[in-house]
Amino acid sequence: MKQKKAFLYIRVSTDEQADKGYSLKHQEERLRSYCQFQNIEIAGLYKDDHSAKTFERPAFQQMLAFLKKNKKSAGLLLFTKWDRFSRNAADAYGMINTLNGLGMEPQAIEQPLDLSIPENKIMLAFYLAAPEVENDRRALNVIVGMRRAKKEGRWMATAPKGYKNVRIDNKPTIVPSDDAKHLQWIFNEINKGVLAPDQVRKEANKRGFEVSRSYFWTMIRNPIYCGRLFIPAYKEEEAHYVKSVHETLVSEELFYNVQDILNGKKRMTVASTKQKDELPLRGFLTCSKCGGQLTGSASKGKYQRYFYYHCQPGCKERFRADEANDKLVAKLQEISAKKEALKCYRTILEKELRKSSKENVGDKQRILAEIDKNIERIDHAQKLMLDGQLDITEYRSIKQKFEAIIKELEAEMKPQVSNTKDYKQYLDFGFNLLQNIDRVYVSGNTQLKSQILSSILAEKLVFEEKTYRTLVYHEALALILNTSKALDKNKKGQTAGKSNLSSLVARTRIELVSRV
């Protein structure tokens, strides 16, 4: 009787070695012992350290290439179990047919099957699917376990910057690291509204806190620093936040103030720079030749120093600072001259503010009603739990869900201008400033001048041929100046028709900034 020949195939993945203790050496010993006992000649040995999800494995593909060139060089392909061969039933059936076509029969020595018997293919499907089912079950248990831990407020992933991973009472959590002080500094600096967020990042890098631009933006958006842990949606459960158990680095108030700044809901303060009084427009001028930002400096003359605005080296843009300063004051005088337009716009704005104030009261009442409704839901769930009609785990889940909703509703209740006395005080200040803006600007220091220009200009200034290109004002001021043009036409006898100025006033809630 002719002696049978076999190729031996052993496979193990890195995860299986770590989790289950599978060993290439053990499989090889089992296969060699089997061949010796069954008097089978070993024609080749192939080892793979790859997953069995596909047949794209180096050693297996090498074996296939050899068989295609040397058909019937061996009649058997032996491995210990079917999950060493494959874990994908569809791919496994296809590969079995391929091997049969090359004159080779695949066989698991610990799970032998005669595949010429059709019913045995049912057992083959079971052998192939069982390990995959086991893996899926283990993965599901991990997901459920991690989700349960998250709901308890424990951070389960790699610690974000400012924290480090530790175990307390044999449970994973995070505690502040040496970088915590840098995170606190970053949030406080952004909250000041003086430096742009990316400038804060660069300053943090200089202070020894290395962080990339992309990670920085993800980091300052992460509520984990104020003790809020995000629970993503899963099946029929909606996404929500829970309170974390680890130590927070910033308060919730500070965190959400920073989010308002990042979302543009809170105006940033102009960064104070050490400017000379003779160069108040430094930082507000754009080069008419190259589009770059102009700076300024002094030149020493025979009897005094002369100040100039100029571009960076390589560009010839340069003009006297006093001429540009005087021309800007003349532009501000044009705003002060629009007293009739300011009066008209103030009347419209007062009307809108009174309407907005009433809407604010209505919004507050609606939010309070929603908060009360959600508090009642929590109380009702607690009663059901105490009566034994609700599991304590379900109660905690309900409580966390509605507490998160209440927190969001409370965040909406920001202080609003709610009475006539308040907003008239701000209007008096704002419109008196506009009516005398040129005089206030001339008499103010460099910092005040910068604040005034930042408040009224939507784009940088361009000074060309001893005059300014058309100034682009912020929307509210632009509306006032357009109103003035309409009023001038009426004075000349033109019919303007029914005023539609009120339609130009923003319908959204108006938040007025108090004076310092």
Q: Would 495 be classed as within a structural domain? A: no
Q: Would 346 be classed as within a structural domain? A: no
CA–CA separation, 196 vs 190, rounded Å? 7
E runs forming strands in 125-276: 163-168, 171-176, 228-231, 240-243
- pLDDT (tens digit per residue) in 442-462: 888 888 888 888 888 888 899
Q: Which residue has the higher pLDDT, 257 or 346?
A: 257
Q: Would 451 be classed as within a structural domain? A: no
Asked whether the predicted pLDDT for residue 319 surpasses 60, the reply is yes
pLDDT over 70, % of the chain:
82
Q: Would 334 be classed as within a structural domain? A: no
Q: What are residue 252's DSSP bridge partners?
A: none
Please tell me the predicted confidence (pLDDT) of residue 271: 44
Mean local confidence (pLDDT), 126-147: 74
Among 132-141, 289-298, 321-330, 505-514, the least confident range: 505-514
Please tell me the predicted confidence (pLDDT) of residue 204: 92
Phi and psi at 505, nearest 5°, equal -80, 135
- What residues contact residue 204 under an 8 Å CB cut-off, 6+ apart? 182, 185, 186, 211
Q: Last residue of a domain, which of 416, 431, 447?
A: 416
pLDDT band at residue 487 under the 50/70/90 scheme: low
- Mean confidence (pLDDT) of the chain: 80
Asked whether the predicted pLDDT for residue 11 surpasses 50, the reply is yes
Please tell me the predicted confidence (pLDDT) of residue 516: 34
Q: How far is C-alpha 388 from the chain's CA centre?
A: 42
pTM, full prediction: 0.37
Question: Do 127 and 99 meet the contact criterion of CB atoms below 8 Å apart?
Answer: no
Q: How far is C-alpha 409 from the chain's CA centre?
A: 22
Helix (H, G, I), strand (E, B) or coil at 229: strand
Q: Would 38 be classed as within a structural domain? A: yes
Q: Are residues 98 and 25 in the same domain?
A: yes
Q: How far is C-alpha 96 from the chain's CA centre?
A: 49
Asked whether the predicted pLDDT for residue 501 surpasses 80, the reply is no
Structure tokens at 348: 């419209």
Q: Are residues 12 and 131 in the same domain?
A: yes
pLDDT band at residue 405 under the 50/70/90 scheme: confident
Mean local confidence (pLDDT), 246-268: 83
pLDDT over 90, % of the chain:
22
- pLDDT (tens digit per residue) in 460-482: 899 998 899 888 888 777 777 77
Q: Would 238 be classed as within a structural domain? A: yes
CATH of the domain at 193: 3.90.1750.20
- pLDDT (tens digit per residue) in 381-392: 888 878 777 777
Q: Are residues 62 and 99 in the same domain?
A: yes
- What residues contact residue 447 under an 8 Å CB cut-off, 6+ apart? 272
Q: Which residue has the higher pLDDT, 18 or 218?
A: 218
Q: Last residue of a domain, which of 242, 262, 282?
A: 262
Please tell me the predicted confidence (pLDDT) of residue 515: 39
Please tell me the predicted confidence (pLDDT) of residue 164: 93
Q: Are residues 95 and 198 in the same domain?
A: no
Question: Do 477 and 452 meet the contact criterion of CB atoms below 8 Å apart?
Answer: no
Please tell me the predicted confidence (pLDDT) of residue 512: 38
Question: Do 106 and 77 meet the contact criterion of CB atoms below 8 Å apart?
Answer: yes
- pLDDT (tens digit per residue) in 356-388: 665 566 667 788 888 888 888 888 888 887 877
Q: Are residues 207 and 124 in the same domain?
A: no
Question: Do 89 and 128 meet the contact criterion of CB atoms below 8 Å apart?
Answer: yes
Cα four-point dihedral sign 19, 21, 24, 30:
negative
- pLDDT (tens digit per residue) in 180-230: 999 999 999 998 877 888 889 999 999 999 999 889 999 999 999 998 888
Query: CA–CA distance from 334 to each of 211, 330, 331, 366, 480 (Å)?
Result: 48, 7, 5, 45, 12
Q: Would 513 be classed as within a structural domain? A: no
Among 17-21, 39-43, 284-288, 475-479, the least confident range: 17-21
CA–CA separation, 421 vs 431, rounded Å? 15
> Which of 65-74, 120-129, 422-431 ranks highest by mean pLDDT?
65-74
Q: Which residue has the higher pLDDT, 273 or 339?
A: 339
Q: Last residue of a domain, which of 207, 237, 262?
A: 262
Q: Which domain holds residue 181?
A: 163-262
Q: Which residue has the higher pLDDT, 286 or 16?
A: 286
pLDDT band at residue 3 under the 50/70/90 scheme: confident
Report how many domains make up the chain.
3
Please tell me the predicted confidence (pLDDT) of residue 230: 84
Q: Are residues 110 and 194 in the same domain?
A: no
Query: CA–CA distance from 57 to each of 46, 63, 86 (Å)?
Result: 11, 10, 11
CATH of the domain at 47: 3.40.50.1390
Please tell me the predicted confidence (pLDDT) of residue 233: 82
Q: Would 92 be classed as within a structural domain? A: yes
Q: Which residue has the higher pLDDT, 349 or 91?
A: 91
Asked whether the predicted pLDDT for residue 263 surpasses 60, the reply is yes
Structure tokens at 160: 């974000």
Please tell me the predicted confidence (pLDDT) of residue 245: 87
Asked whether the predicted pLDDT for residue 178 surpasses 80, the reply is yes
Q: Are residues 115 and 212 in the same domain?
A: no
Q: Are residues 99 and 176 in the same domain?
A: no
Please tell me the predicted confidence (pLDDT) of residue 25: 85
